[in-house]
Structure 1
Amino acid sequence: MWLRGLLLLFVVAVVSGGVAFWSAQNALVKPLTLPVDGLRMDVESGSNLSRILLRLESEGVLRSPRWVRLYARIKSQSSIHPGEYLIPAGSNAMDLVGRLNRGDVTRYRVTLVEGWTFQQALSQIRHSNKIRQTAAGESIAAAAQALGIEGNPEGRIFPDTYVYRSGASDLDLLRQAFERMDTVLAEEWQQRGENLPYKDAYEALIMASIVEKETGVPWERDEIAGVFVRRLQRGMRLQTDPTVIYGLGDQYDGNLRRADLRNATPYNTYVIGGMPPTPIALPGREAIHAALHPKDGNSLYFVAKGDGSHHFSSTLNEHNRAVREYQLKRRSDYRSSPANNTKND
């Protein structure tokens, strides 16, 4: 009699174990119920795995969250990271737990372009996907204050592509770009050439911004820097149009007039001696390097040739001849930048 009872208990245990095993396998291995293009889900800071699993159960995405919790505990994958996740169709509960534990969140990119102004970069950041806008990004002045910059922050953030998670703020991106510029400028300043007319790295940054705006083809950066450095060393005015345009601000309508060259703004290098008070754009590393390693030579002038490159001259007479050739007889295909920025062999 007792043998029959023992056998019955054994059968019940086997059946129960089989049911439990089947239930666990079903909960963990069977694909989740997801849309054909996957499921996007936001995990807020402070949330936990149990809460996420119960939410997904209520939405009909998974079943038996207790087995999923047990699996995560056994695999030491119970901790999760906040952010936006894309769970691809065909994923199962084990895939889900792994993604949440690793923090495989969706990442976004924003690119700040060399030669842009701070305002253009700020607008690009604030209007990027999944960016959280804050009071710090409402104006240039507010951004400067949040970054701890006194005065005009022009040129103080580095043009590059930045990767961020959903929910990152505009200030997060600005601070990252600001710190990146400080790092790049310090590195380049440490390796600067000799006999440069800059009292500090900030003046080199100002020059780099001018070089960035004047350069149409990348291989001319150091030669353009050489022209401006020699002008400073000889006490000549820089006389560069991009500084005038920057000083005009919203008054600039795309057409630079002779009267504008006489307009005495702090940035008009046809009127002021030396360099403008701040950068006029965001310079990239190559422009910063060129400003700190200007090309040797005698050229003091340059004029756009219409294909993106420039003609460089060492005398005013030669320069005036080049102006007559390239500027006063502009071809129909004249352009200030090349069709592409790759050097032709």
Structure 2
Amino acid sequence: MRVLAAMSGGVDSAVAAARAVDAGHEVVGVHLALARNPQTLRAGARGCCTIEDAGDARRVADILGIPFYVWDLAERFQQDVIDDFVAEYKIGRTPNPCVRCNQKIKFAALLDKAVALGFDAVSTGHYAQMLDGPHGPELHRAVDMGKDQSYVLAVLPPDRLARSLFPLGDTRKEDVRIEAAERGLRVASKPDSHDICFISDGDTQGFLAKRLGEKPGPIVDSEGQQLGEHSGAYGFTVGQRRGLAIGTPAADGRPRYVLSIEPVSNTVVVGSAEELKVRAITGAEATWCAPVPEPGAAVSVQVRAHGREVPARVVSLGSSTGPGSGAGSLQTLPATVHVELDEPISGVATGQTLVLYRGTQVIGSSTISATA
């Protein structure tokens, strides 16, 4: 099989590429240049698109004896990830750029280009498992739950998953580093990338302020009483406690949290920890990786990349009309999902990704549009 190995310059993608070679595939390595000006990023930046990273990936490819290329996807990354990130915050939502990058860049732009060039699949260093099931390939959690990345891959439909290889899904991270060292790969001890790759200093609020400017507005409690003023609602997210700059303490002396962000009135609403709890979630733009669950089905849900899994029940599904499998045919595609949680969770924001699981298997995902 001809495999295009996405090589970020880190240890995970390096070992994944090596394993693809060991499996007997015809492997070609590619590094995605995602920054418009990578030379402006400091060495050791949090992301995976620096010149340093490209050099690390090239050295690994040389050791593995595979061809290596750098593909410039900076424009696509700017439009589909960075611009989307800013636009979502502007309307009061909290996006996950890693989910969007996997959906639009690594398994859309990259995979489409790979297929057009005659490759059969794309290999990455994600920690997730593809297993054979009665209905075809199934996406499952990784063996190493501490590194599991099935959450950010849940936006991939079955046709894209069928062309995806995740060689590290059955391995723990510490063993990946040991293997890299044994293979003579100097990235074996390279630190993991973290946080948002295109915000190298970690200052998300400052990043957004430069692009959206100051826009003062009120901070109010759940009854509408003004408690303070903010310089931009985009600088807040649901569940936030620190940085509220409210001079008046709560009547009970307990901390306040951001409950909601209202972009039209430019208002940030705060309240108690109890008011922050969510017991039902509605998601839109659903993608299904497995047979769609019936209303009433027991599932588990996750709303953050490293958040806890919560038991839930599918209450209802909404539908839209889309292309069917036959020529010119149409089929009904579930586009929304509403779940009720067995136990409340806090800090759930619109724009986040809701992922449904059945055991370790990913059922599907949607973008959170409402909570209750």
Name the TM-score class by shorter chain: under 0.3
Which protein is richer in strand relative to its size? 2
TM-score normalized with structure 2 length: 0.21
Which protein is richer in helix relative to its size? 1
TM-score normalized with structure 1 length: 0.23
> Which structure ranks higher in relative contact order (CA pairs < 8 Å, sequence separation ≥ 6)?
2
